[in-house]
A and B are shown apart, each in its own frame.
Chain A
Amino acid sequence: MENKSLEINNLTARVGDFSLRDVNFSIEKGTIMGFIGKNGSGKTTLIKTILDMIPKQSGEILFDDIPMLGNEEIVKSKIGIVFDSLIYPLNLKPIKIKKMVSPFYKTFDDEKFYELMKRFDLDINKKLSAYSKGMQMKFGVVMALSHNPELIILDEPTAGLDPIARAEVIDLLLELMQNEKRSILFSTHITSDLEKIADYITMIDNGKIVFSKGKDELLDSYMLAQIEKDSITNEIKSNLIGLKETTFGYQGLCPSDFKTKNIVGVKTARPTIEDIMIYMGSNYGKFYKEVKQ
């Protein structure tokens, strides 16, 4: 219990027609949790529910064993948040925003703020409206990190960034992880970012957690199989997740314990997180059963 920076138990929430159902997962201290799922799967809704911006119907959310309700001051001071779009008013200069926000954090580090602004090549005296989308996102990251949070929640922070800026952000996050108490929840579509930094991967689909596993364990659990048309059998088909027909035959994801070595015309490879996301996304029901097993 003590080693978890975020713990979510049986969380249920509803926004209009969409609902989060029975969400359970946790983030250990000193780890990075990659949070994946297709558009509209509930990633941002879950993040907003975690942050109490969307009211929960039932369940429990604990930050370092402390619930948000009634402890907003303590909990929020330990969290750094980057939303998928900039929350700060565009007509203000970063220096003014810093002056406005910093008095609320005992741990706000002015030096760090200026250092990060310099590192990301951001002008503190330029209005945010004059920043590009990528620069605005970088500023969001700077503001989220300047008070040395223990838990950093990032909702698609690299979405509008070019590869160089993305690499800068990823490097910065890896640097931050030198502090063993710090944890990151990193929601993204760019799964290659997660290949580099994530320790755990959680996938959400239609408001329900599909899996929450160690990255290596997840990648070791599955194989990407390519089967020639003549070699396909009903038994193979039944073991493939997200079966797709291609010009050369069939392609799909199969459990790593599925014996394919002796089958002629079947080639396997280690999948990427993106492969798992793509194949699972289209075959959630079947996959969910397997993960449960």
Chain B
Amino acid sequence: MITRFWNYQRLLNHSIKSSNNKERSRAPFFNHMLFFIFMYSFIFTLDGGGIVFFPIICTLSIVYQIINSRNKLFEIVPVSKLYSCLNIYLFVLGVILVFISTFVLLGVFSLLFNNIMHMHFVLNFNLDGSNVILSLRDWKSTLIPGCISIIITSILLPMFFIKNNILRKCLTLLSVALATISLISFRNTLPVLPVLGEINFLKSIKLLPQYNEILLILSCICVVIFPISMFISYKLYKGKRCLVS
């Protein structure tokens, strides 16, 4: 059971590289484009705080490629579609955990490095290292973006299973655009930092007067939306006539 599960995760992982030359030449342009739009709009519009969404964006980009590649290595083995679907969701969680662990290690390393060197500077080169360190020091400010990440994942993943190419791409782009606009709008409602006199996405979140209420609502949404997302993905993966032609 566990061997099968582990091997299926490995098959999913290797599905990214299992394409032949013909496949490679048709490289996932859409996927890369989506990744850059998503990543850059988040980083530039969320005062560098968009970095907390980096794991989810990378994961979604990888999963899009796996689900929509021509040679689906994970589909050659005899398993039910439900098993495949559940494993894809688990794969998403696994990859996110890997990214978060890498981030934590990176942050811890940066902190240690700073302490060892007795210098009070943060690397201004990395993917905004100050935000990585801030995320680690102030975990409270990352809870809301974490919940938002789960909601974005739950909305986008079922779309990746739509077999109609144009419909899938249009809906994905639309969702990415809406997510970006919603996050920018959310950022603009955040309180101004008294010290700096301006809004900083990560730092301002914890100053929200209704922080606990918002976190509770978002957590509840996550609990409800995730299984619904899995169910819709399974139905789409199994095949719905109107969405497969």
Query: Does B bind A?
Result: yes
Q: Which of A's residues lie within 8 Å of B, judged by CB? A: 14, 53, 55, 57, 69, 72-77, 81, 83, 85-92, 99-101, 103-105
Q: Are B80 and A73 in contact (CB under 8 A)?
A: yes
Q: Are A104 and B20 in contact (CB under 8 A)?
A: no
Q: Are A75 and B22 in contact (CB under 8 A)?
A: no
Q: Are B17 and A72 in contact (CB under 8 A)?
A: no
Q: Are A74 and B73 in contact (CB under 8 A)?
A: no
Q: Are A104 and B73 in contact (CB under 8 A)?
A: no
Which one of B4-12, B33-41, B119-127, B146-154 contacts A? B4-12
User: If the complex has contacts A72-B79, A73-B80, are A14 and B14 also in contact, measured as CB distance less than 8 A?
Assistant: no
Given the complex, which residues of B lie within 8 Å of A74, measured CB to CB?
78
Given the complex, which residues of B lie within 8 Å of A57, measured CB to CB?
241, 245
Given the complex, which residues of B lie within 8 Å of A91, measured CB to CB?
17
With most chain B CB atoms within 10 A of its CB, the pick from A81, A86, A89 is A89
Q: Are B14 and A92 in contact (CB under 8 A)?
A: yes
Interface hits, B11-49 → A, CB 8 Å:
11, 14, 17-18, 20-22
Q: Are A89 and B239 in contact (CB under 8 A)?
A: no
Q: Are A73 and B7 in contact (CB under 8 A)?
A: no
Given the complex, which residues of A lie within 8 Å of B21, measured CB to CB?
85
Q: Are A72 and B78 in contact (CB under 8 A)?
A: yes
Interface string of B147-190 (1 = CB under 8 A from A): 00000000000000001000000000000000000000000000
* Cβ contact of B73, chosen from A72, A75, A76, A89, cutoff 8 A: A89
Q: How far is the CA of A103 from the CA of B77 in the complex (A)?
A: 9
Q: Does B137 count as interface, using CB distance less than 8 angstroms?
A: no
Q: Are B238 and A69 in contact (CB under 8 A)?
A: yes
Closest A residue by C-beta to B164: A55
Q: How far is the CA of A74 from the CA of B78 in the complex (A)?
A: 7
Given the complex, which residues of A lie within 8 Å of B238, measured CB to CB?
69
Report the minimum CB–CB distance from B163 to chain A (whole Å): 5
Q: Interface residue count for B (Cβ, 8 Å)? A: 29
Q: Are B80 and A72 in contact (CB under 8 A)?
A: yes
Q: Are B163 and A104 in contact (CB under 8 A)?
A: no
Report the minimum CB–CB distance from A100 to chain B (whole Å): 5
Given the complex, which residues of A lie within 8 Å of B81, measured CB to CB?
72
Q: How far is the CA of A92 from the CA of B11 in the complex (A)?
A: 11
User: If the complex has contacts A14-B245, A55-B244, A87-B71, are A104 and B78 also in contact, measured as CB distance less than 8 A?
Assistant: yes
Given the complex, which residues of A lie within 8 Å of B78, measured CB to CB?
72-77, 104-105
Q: Does B76 count as interface, using CB distance less than 8 angstroms?
A: yes
Q: How far is the CA of A153 from the CA of B223 in the complex (A)?
A: 43
Closest A residue by C-beta to B243: A55
Report the minimum CB–CB distance from A135 to chain B (whole Å): 15
Q: How far is the CA of A89 from the CA of B238 in the complex (A)?
A: 26
Closest B residue by C-beta to A97: B14
Q: Does B72 count as interface, using CB distance less than 8 angstroms?
A: yes
Given the complex, which residues of B lie within 8 Å of A53, measured CB to CB?
72, 75
With most chain B CB atoms within 10 A of its CB, the pick from A53, A85, A87, A103 is A87
* Cβ contact of A87, chosen from B10, B73, B79, cutoff 8 A: B73
Q: Are A86 and B80 in contact (CB under 8 A)?
A: no
Report the minimum CB–CB distance from A250 to chain B (whole Å): 40
- Ordered by A's residue number, 6 sampled pairs between the chains whose C-beta atoms are within 8 Å are A57-B241, A75-B78, A85-B21, A85-B71, A87-B76, A90-B17
Q: Does B210 count as interface, using CB distance less than 8 angstroms?
A: no
Report the minimum CB–CB distance from A165 to chain B (whole Å): 19
Closest A residue by C-beta to B72: A53
* Cβ contact of A86, chosen from B7, B20, B75, B83, cutoff 8 A: B20
Q: How far is the CA of A97 from the CA of B14 in the complex (A)?
A: 10
Given the complex, which residues of B lie within 8 Å of A85, measured CB to CB?
20-22, 71
Report the minimum CB–CB distance from B78 to chain A (whole Å): 4
* Cβ contact of B7, chosen from A69, A83, A100, cutoff 8 A: A100
Q: How far is the CA of A89 from the CA of B71 in the complex (A)?
A: 10
